[in-house]
Amino acid sequence: MNDAQEDETPATDPSAKASDQRNGTGQVPGDPPVPKRSSQNPMAIDAGHDPVNTLDEAAAAAELNRLAQAIARADTAYHGHDAPEISDAAYDALKRRNAEIENRFPALKRTDSPSDRVGAAPAEGFGKIRHARRMLSLANAFTPDEVSEFDARIRRYLGLPADQVIRYTAEPKIDGLSLSLRYEGGRLVHAATRGDGETGEDVTANARTLADIPQTLADVPEVLEIRGEVYMRHGDFQRLNARAAEAGNRTFANPRNAAAGSLRQLDPRITRSRPLSFFAYGWGALSSPLAETQMQALERLRALGFTINPLTRLCDGPQALIAHYRQIEATRADLGYDIDGVVYKVDDLTLQERLGFRSTTPRWALAHKFPAETAWTVLEGIDIQVGRTGALSPVARLRPVNVGGVLVSNATLHNEDYIAGTDSRGAPIRDGRDIRIGDRVQVYRAGDVIPKIADIDLSARPNAAAPYDFPQVCPECHSPAVREPGDSVRRCTGGLVCPAQQVERLKHFVSRAAFDIEGLGAKQIEMFFADEQLAIRQPADIFTLAERDGAGLARLKNRPGWGETSADNLFRAIKARRTIALHRFLFALGIRHVGENAAQLLARHFGTWAAVHACLTGPADAALAELTNINGIGPVMAQSLIDAFANPAERAAIDALVAHLDITDAERPQAEGSAVSGLTVVFTGTLTRMTRAEAKARAEAMGARVAGSVSAKTDLLVAGEGAGSKAAKAEALGVKVIDEDAWLALIGA
Ligand code: IVH
């Protein structure tokens, strides 16, 4: 099966990072407050003298208006221009007076009330920046064998002879958050977090406060994007936490959270007060090449004033990589900052270019992670969560235990076989020992992955512990829960009548890689799901919320936890998402097996929603043939898509949703203007100048579709040496046939 292995994750991801929890202000909850204002300038604005209880409505409204203007002006001077106009005391007096009047006349509270704002930043939080080149992640390896396989994969892909050794760079993988810095004409013009890889948050003002980040660079390409990791050193982290604890503020759980919370501040003054560091490790868009090798490029960045990790080395072949990994691992505890592995990159940039990318990771790099951390604790219970596709996921409730610096109280138990001690084929795992409530269990976690149970201690099993009885009905809707033959997962058969599936699908719909609606996260979805008047039961309901019975706003602003501003902001955020990119839309539908990668592949293949719709609502056999012809989409995913569109309730929900949306066509980067864009190409025979895999990947990167067999839809057959029946079939169908040299000339290689 070549389907991307993508399905749901348990509803509560126990590994969710604290830094990912948005609270709408961009600040980590409980962060130290905004620093005090300067007290240089005398009070310039009158905070009002009449006792509040003598004001009538008209006077109060007029004064609130005056206060809003004065406070906005003071905020702009302070935050925007770094030049305060009034003293701290005067500013506080204005805010206090404003709050007193609002308390007495709640109905007069303005939609732009200064009480609802922190600083002068826009209420929506950070601006967005689209990365000129996507910020990708890295494929992971945990064992030396996987490192050798990485090297072997690269040689196979490039078709290198057995005696040719590949040279790599190896450097620590810093446990922080990635940042992209864009320099134009040698000046730093913006800085963005990774975000979803395509669009990040604009943290330019904050990045400028880091001593490790140069503001100007001499003698560099006109456009130069530097990528690297923002992190916090152990000593700095401890001092920061000690200060926060002394001031009675919340402390950070670990240096990574502290770094993320400090960079993602709406007020750059807070970032400036935080001890952040930056290692540069790569680049994004460039108007001209930096060097010929990765190492030379890093040396060049060092000469420009960036800090390059001092443990970066050149290694010839996988054995040298593993040796350097061992050295770094041995010094890990003394480095003074957190690392979670070693990153390997092919040194020769021409080879990097030829290797290119899979959908979210480069083929030329690998993260060799340190082994997982483990700890023993007691399994206190097993909860069953119902996911968006109905999967019943058992979750271990653990007596909280510290695993490598993180307090863990949940772990995944995968499925019923895993609890019973067998794999999907019925073969024993853990020597066949099952997992029972009350057992002493060994928990492990590696990096960001969800904690798991590695082992159990039979000698500590309580006498009363009984084998776990996996539920046969859905714990949420009581529909039968069944296991299809060959499926390791038991699923609720309730479909959209199951409230758990409905809620999980909605949470998925608004999630970061899907509609990503600011102010509408998992918590809010649960609130709206349970609300009678403002019910959100299916995605289309989100887009009718504002106009619901002509009173959406009036109702929402009176709900606990909401006010006029937050309600307004939510409706604005929803409206903004009426225009949505095709791949996000497809991913958001939450169709089983269709993850982010698959959604991208579908969007690139079809280009428009109309084309997707036409395929999936047309004859099923034609749809199956077209879908499985897309590289990366297999029969299981194809069938899942077809089934979803054949189900009347699903179709109705999709149609109702689409009526509110403007789905934008997929971009086909590089496709425009390429000689092969839009063509369906088939390769056959032996290619001598590159492997089949490389030829295929390059063709796709240039906008062609690569199919496995010749049909009337084929535009071009590239026949290598010894081409046989496919060439004959192409001739018979009148398909153009060219040889390898002609193909290379066509793509300009
Ligand atoms: S190279 C194309 N090098 O790891 C991918 N990444 O798991 C370029 N990271 O998002 C990444 N140290 O935030 C690279 N020396 C290093 C790194 C590193 C930390 C992070 C980075 C990336 C994540 C991928």
Q: If one looks up domain 495-577 in CATH, what number appears? A: 1.10.150.20
* CATH fit for domain 680-747, picks 3.50.30.10, 3.40.50.300, 3.40.50.10190, 3.40.710.10: 3.40.50.10190
The ligand 1 atom nearest the CA atom of 171: 15
Indicate the CATH number for domain 582-664. 1.10.150.20
According to the model, what pLDDT value does residue 510 have?
95
**Least confident range of 320-324, 376-380, 708-712:** 708-712
**Distances in Å between the alpha carbon of 93 and those of 67, 82, 104?**
10, 21, 17
User: How many angstroms separate the alpha carbon of residue 617 from the centre of ligand 1?
Assistant: 41
Q: Residue 57 — φ and ψ, nearest 5°?
A: -60, -45
The answer, yes or no, to whether any atom of ligand 1 lies below 6 A from the CB of 195, is no
Confidence of residue 521 (pLDDT cuts 50, 70, 90): very high
What local confidence, expressed as pLDDT, does residue 672 receive?
59
226 Cα–ligand 1 center, Å: 12
User: Does 174 contact ligand 1 (Cβ within 6 A)?
Assistant: yes
pLDDT of residue 538: 95
- Pocket lining: 394 vs ligand 1, CB cutoff 6 Å: no
Q: Which residue has the higher pLDDT, 602 or 42?
A: 602
Ligand 1 atom with the shortest distance to the CA of 362: 2
Judged against a pLDDT cut of 60, whether residue 720 lies above it is answered with yes
Q: How confident is the model at residue 448 (pLDDT cuts 50, 70, 90)?
A: low
| Residue 726 designated active-site | no
What's the token pair of residue 114?
Answer: 């200064």
Identify which has the larger pLDDT, 377 or 551.
377
- The residue whose CA has the least distance to atom 2 of ligand 1 is 136
Q: Which residue has the higher pLDDT, 585 or 548?
A: 585
* Mutation to probe ligand 1, out of 230, 343, 346 (largest number of atoms < 8 A from CB): 343
Tell whether domain 373-482 is in CATH 3.40.50.720: no
Cβ–ligand 1 contact at 101 (below 6 Å): no
Q: What is the distance in A from the centroid of ligand 1 to the CA of 138?
A: 7
Residue 165 burial class via C-beta count within 10 angstroms: exposed 0-12, middle 13-18, buried 19 and up: middle
Place of tokens 């490598």: 404
Q: DSSP 3-state assignment of 178?
A: strand
CB distance 425 to 363 below 8 Å:
no
* Cut 0.85: pTM above it: no
User: Which residue's CA lies nearest to atom 21 of ligand 1?
Assistant: 178
463-481 pLDDT tens trace: 999 999 999 999 999 999 9
Nearest Cα residue to atom 17 of ligand 1 = 173
How many angstroms separate the most distant Cα atoms in the chain?
97
33, pLDDT greater than 60: no
Q: Report how far ligand 1's centroid is from the alpha carbon of 173 (Å).
A: 6
Which segments of 445-593 does DSSP mark as H helices, in order?
A: 499-509, 522-530, 539-542, 552-556, 564-576, 582-588
- Ranges of each domain in the chain: 140-369, 373-482, 495-577, 582-664, 680-747
The number of beta carbons lying within 10 Å of the beta carbon of residue 590 is 22
Query: Which atom of ligand 1 is nearest to 194's Cα?
Result: 10
Q: Which of 1-5, 319-323, 380-384, 702-706 has the lowest mean pLDDT?
A: 1-5
Whether 362 lines ligand 1, by a CB cut-off of 6 Å, is yes
C-beta separation of 173 from 340 below 8 A: yes
Mean pLDDT of the chain: 86
Confirm if 398 and 381 have CB atoms less than 8 A apart: no
Is the per-residue pLDDT at 301 higher than 80?
yes
- Choosing from 36, 109, 173, 713, which is the catalytic residue? 173
Identical fold, 373-482 and 495-577 = no
Distance in Å, CA 232 to ligand 1 centroid? 16
Of all residues in the chain, what percent carry a pLDDT higher than 90?
56
Least confidently predicted of 89-93, 402-406, 663-667: 89-93
Q: Using an 8 Å Cβ cutoff, are 445 and 403 in contact?
A: yes
CA of 372 from ligand 1 middle (Å) equals: 19
pLDDT bracket for residue 492 (50, 70, 90): very high
534-579 per-position pLDDT tens digit = 999 999 999 999 888 788 888 898 888 888 899 999 999 999 999 9
pLDDT digits (tens, 9 = 90+) for 591-643: 999 998 899 889 988 999 999 999 999 999 999 999 988 877 889 999 999 99
How many C-beta atoms surround the C-beta of residue 367 within 10 A? 18
Q: Check: CATH 3.40.630.30 for 140-369?
A: no
136 lines ligand 1 (CB under 6 A): yes
Q: Is 649 exposed, middle or buried (0-12, 13-18, 19+ CB in 10 A)?
A: exposed
Whole-number Å distance between alpha carbons of 520 and 32: 25
The average pLDDT across 141-156 equals 95
In this structure, the residue with its CA closest to atom 18 of ligand 1 is 173
CA of 315 to the centre of ligand 1 (A): 18
